[in-house]
């Protein structure tokens, strides 16, 4: 692990930390899984990161391993496959493993990373069941390593401002929330359309944004859940794989969240109705800072790179040995809601 100096740094205005510390070196990160998100989002984010550095990869594809070694100047000894990556335990240059594999495989790889003594970030959803989440949390706790989940929206300035408006009742108590997210997979999208890999359909894949955002915006846990499932294409969406799922969450403060997740088309909505106004965001769950708004006009907030900021925030929590707010416990609460749905 990197050592830290006594020098304190101002944390960004978007940070959930009061201050940063200066490490003597960056946190060494290995990506486990080299799909589109690793390639298009995480690799650039690690390049831009102030406190993290890509030092290796884990993949069963030798061609991908060679390509990443060449592209990012990675030493061969820092590149592992899925069967042998336990050897990373003996690599002092690796501090954290970022798990970016199909949902149903998360539990195995998070537990193995923890047993190797490495901190872990896992893409959402953390697990495909409450039991899986509890297993991963316990493994990381036993190993004395941090577990974080890729909830990048928790560090996005627009989502943080919307949560503030909601929780502080800036426009009166929140009465109603509309949240939806969709994606249109094609036949080649096997990781999404194969339940044995995905662990479910659009709820598990993109609906988790809506579940997490509803909880984050209200600052509450839902009391009751109702849900409806629609499948107009049973040839494409086999048994246990929904096409569209709609659900409603009722919160202790009186707010009702109406949510939808679909594989019919790419949609995205976040709209909050309060007693004296409304607010929300356009394209709320993408990889870039969304455009926020209220009934008074657009929100003028800085644009950030959420994956990069999340990496730096988690790194600082590790450096300072403090809990991170995108923890396994946060993911466990989402898993409980999704099981109820």
Quick: pLDDT tens for 237-274. 876 788 999 999 999 999 999 999 999 999 999 999 99
Q: What is the mean pLDDT of the chain?
A: 94
319 and 273 in a common domain: no
Q: Which domain holds residue 285?
A: 157-302
CATH number of the domain bearing residue 30: 3.40.50.720
Please give the Cα distance from 306 to 281 (Å, whole number).
15
**Is the pLDDT reported for residue 6 higher than 60?**
no
Q: Give pTM, 2 decimals.
A: 0.95
Model confidence pLDDT, tens digit, residues 131-184: 999 999 999 999 999 999 999 999 999 999 999 999 999 999 999 999 999 999
Q: What angle do CA 129, 122, 155 make, to 5 degrees?
A: 110
Chain mean position to CA 72: 24
What CATH code is carried by the domain that includes residue 279? 3.30.360.10
Q: What is the mean pLDDT of residues 4-33?
A: 84
The domain total for the chain is: 2
Structure tokens at 315: 């790194």
**Residue in the block written with tokens 């629609």:** 230
Domain shared by 161 and 148, yes or no = no
The pLDDT-based confidence of 4 (bands split at 50, 70, 90) is: low
């Amino acid at each position: 692990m990197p050592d830290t100096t006594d020098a304190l740094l101002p944390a960004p205005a978007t940070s959930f930390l009061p201050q940063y510390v200066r490490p003597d070196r960056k946190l060494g990160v290995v990506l486990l899984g080299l799909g589109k998100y690793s390639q298009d989002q995480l690799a650039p984010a690690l390049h831009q990161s102030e406190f993290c550095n890509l030092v290796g990869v884990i993949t069963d594809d030798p061609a991908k391993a060679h390509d990443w070694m060449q592209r990012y100047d990675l030493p061969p000894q820092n590149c592992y496959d899925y069967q042998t990556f336990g050897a990373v335990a003996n690599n002092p240059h690796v501090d954290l493993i970022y798990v970016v594999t199909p949902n149903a495989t998360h539990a195995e790889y998070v537990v193995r990373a923890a047993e190797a003594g490495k901190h872990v970030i896992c893409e959402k959803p953390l697990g495909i069941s409450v039991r899986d989440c509890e297993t991963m949390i316990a493994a990381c706790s036993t190993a004395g390593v941090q577990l974080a989940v890729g909830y990048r929206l928790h560090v996005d300035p627009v989502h943080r401002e919307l949560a503030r408006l909601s929780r502080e009742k800036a426009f009166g108590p929140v009465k109603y929330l509309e949240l939806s997210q969709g994606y249109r997979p094609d036949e080649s999208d096997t990781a999404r359309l194969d339940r044995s890999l995905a662990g479910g359909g659009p709820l598990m894949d993109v609906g988790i944004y809506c579940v997490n955002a509803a909880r984050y915006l209200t600052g509450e846990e839902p009391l009751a859940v109702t849900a409806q499932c629609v499948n107009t294409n049973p040839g494409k969406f086999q048994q246990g794989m929904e096409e569209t799922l709609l659900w409603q969450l009722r919160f202790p403060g009186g707010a009702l969240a109406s949510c939808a997740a679909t594989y019919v088309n790419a949609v995205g909505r976040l709209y909050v109705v309060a007693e004296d106004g409304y607010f929300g965001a356009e394209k709320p769950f993408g990889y870039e800072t969304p455009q926020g708004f209220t009934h008074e006009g657009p929100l003028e907030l800085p644009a950030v790179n959420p994956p990069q900021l999340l990496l730096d925030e988690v790194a600082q929590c590790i450096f300072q040995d403090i809990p991170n707010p995108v923890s396994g416990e946060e993911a466990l609460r989402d898993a409980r809601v999704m099981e109820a749905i």
